[in-house]
Amino acid sequence: MNAFLEIRDVSKRFGAVTALSDVRLAIARAEFFSLLGPSGCGKTTLLRTIAGFEQPDEGTIFIDGADVTAMPPERRPTNMVFQSYAIFPHLNVFDNIAYGLRRLRLERAELERRVSEALAMVRLDGYGGRRSDTLSGGQRQRVALARALVRRPKVLLLDEPLGALDRRLREAMQRELRELQRNLGITFVLVTHDQEEALSMSDRIAVMSEGRVLQVDSPRALYERPASRIVAEFIGTMNLLEATVTEGAGSDAVCNVPGLGAIVVKDCALAAGERATLAIRPERLVISDGGRTSGTIVSSTYLGGRTHLLIALEGNGQPVAATIDSASGAGASPGARIKLDWEPDAFIALPD
């Protein structure tokens, strides 16, 4: 891939704490890229290193072919939307957005044109004269976005920009951000701990933990084919079952899971006799009269359109989670005996 923003072997320590450990990423032009991970995983440090607020101890950062590692933040072709939005309280909306244009020494008319263009872009037309302390959270977020985008950065960095908004507004802003990114064709790098947010907005996601990048993939690939237990457990819910490999045949393997019987797993390098962890998403387990294995419903949680079940398997001490359509699961009440089934490719093997 042709890397537009490249992070090459970047490490960063704060005293005894390793915040980033040999991070390597290649992000394409106009890509919507997310850094996902729990708090303290190094995602914000990485974003701040790209912006120039932190100096890496080792490694290099390239943007559009240029090494920016030694550049101070004010000279980098990046702009950031801060988690706190960092709207200047002593300036009104217009002056906040025009703040970063001072050095361009534009004529007044041109300056006004660019600011009102930016305001229109975030749908805040006519808000220029408003005092910044009269804005709502969503409006502050838009001003922060306009202030960053008005400088036409090569890379826009977003540090948990939607975290402080309520759910409805957050979802609307997610759609808007995505649309904006597509229309502008600017590379976005988003930091978030919210997996749904990352899945719904990103072209690709890097899952981070303890300063390392665990996996970089499209949302679908991350969800359906996580490369490790940590990724599988961090994104969505995953049932993990211990298994023994009975047959290793080329790229496929046959595994025996107590209570479920023989399961064929595709694309894994496992040899007969090895132990493995098999993983299946709750929605890939289906209740069906002709199911291959039976169990008892332990608990049932109604979530509107879907119902979440916890099922005790016969012959396996590890209960599994299943998500079913509420409309179809009329009889799924605790204590009921049911039969479970799954599609042939529903299970994947994870390295321990």
Partner 1 sequence: MSASAKLASMKPPGLFVYAILYLAFLYVPVLFLPLFSFNDSAFVSFPLAGFTLRWYRAMLADGALGEALANSLKVGAVAAISATLLGLAAARALTRYRLKGTSTVLGFVSLPLFIPDIVLGISLLILVNALSTPLSLSSVIFGHIVLCVPFALAVLLSRLEGFDPSLEEASRDLGETAWMTFLRVTLPLALPGIVASLLLAFIVSFDEFLIAYFLAGTDATLPIYIWGELRFPAKLPIVLALGAAILVVTCLLVLVAEWLRNLGRARTTPLAVGA
Q: Which is nearer to partner 1, 155 or 205 (CB)?
A: 155
Residue 44: CB minimum distance to partner 1, A = 11
DSSP 285-352: EEE-TT-SEEEEEEEEEE-SSEEEEEEEETT-SS-EEEEEETTT-TT--TT-EEEEEE-TT--EEE--
Residue 277: CB minimum distance to partner 1, A = 41
Q: Which is nearer to partner 1, 151 or 281 (CB)?
A: 151
Could you give the count of Cα atoms lying within 13 Å of 216 in the half-sphere of its Cβ?
Answer: 12
Helices 108-121 and 137-149 pack at an angle, to 10 degrees, of 130
Q: Which two tokens stand for residue 205?
A: 């996601």
Residue 81: CB minimum distance to partner 1, A = 9
Q: Which is nearer to partner 1, 165 or 320 (CB)?
A: 165
Q: Which is nearer to partner 1, 91 or 336 (CB)?
A: 91
Q: 11 in the Ramachandran plot: left (φ > 0), alpha (ψ -120 to 50) or beta?
A: beta
Q: Which is nearer to partner 1, 137 or 261 (CB)?
A: 137
Residue 10: CB minimum distance to partner 1, A = 19
Residue 37: CB minimum distance to partner 1, A = 21
Question: Rounded distance, CA 15 to CA 33, Å?
Answer: 29
Q: Which two tokens stand for residue 144?
A: 């922060």
Least Cα distance to 5 among 37, 32, 39 occurs for 32
Residue 6: CB minimum distance to partner 1, A = 20
Is 219 in contact with 194 (CB distance < 8 Å)?
no
Report the interface residues with partner 1, using CB under 8 A: 51-53, 72-75, 78-80, 82-84, 86, 88-90, 99-100, 102-103, 133, 135-138, 140, 147-148, 151, 164-166, 168-169
Torsion of the alpha carbons at 340, 346, 347 and 349, rounded to the nearest 10: -170
Q: Which is nearer to partner 1, 100 or 319 (CB)?
A: 100
